[in-house]
Amino acid sequence: KLRAMATTICYGQYSSEMKDFAEQILKYMDEVKAKNKQLKSENELLKGPNYE
């Protein structure tokens, strides 16, 4: 929902301050998503084949 709202603000008729803020939110969300992905794959590596 937050991503959708921020995207709407980026492309809507809003002030440039609002658009900058929305772009920062989207950028932050992408960074968090990438970090989560990285941590997940590191977790998989740490588990190894004998984890079960």
Contact 25, 48 (CB under 8 A): no
Number of domains in the chain: 1
Residue 23 in domain: yes
Contact 9, 19 (CB under 8 A): yes
Q: Whole domain around residue 28: which residue ranges?
A: 2-47
Q: Which residues, 6 or more positions from 10, have their beta carbon under 8 angstroms from its beta carbon?
A: 19, 22, 23, 26
pTM of the complete model: 0.65
Residue 29 in domain: yes
pLDDT digits (tens, 9 = 90+) for 1-52: 888 888 888 788 888 898 899 899 999 999 999 999 999 999 988 887 776 6
| Cα–Cα distance for residue pair 19/12, rounded to 1 Å | 9
Residue 52 in domain: no
Residue 40 in domain: yes
Residue 43 in domain: yes
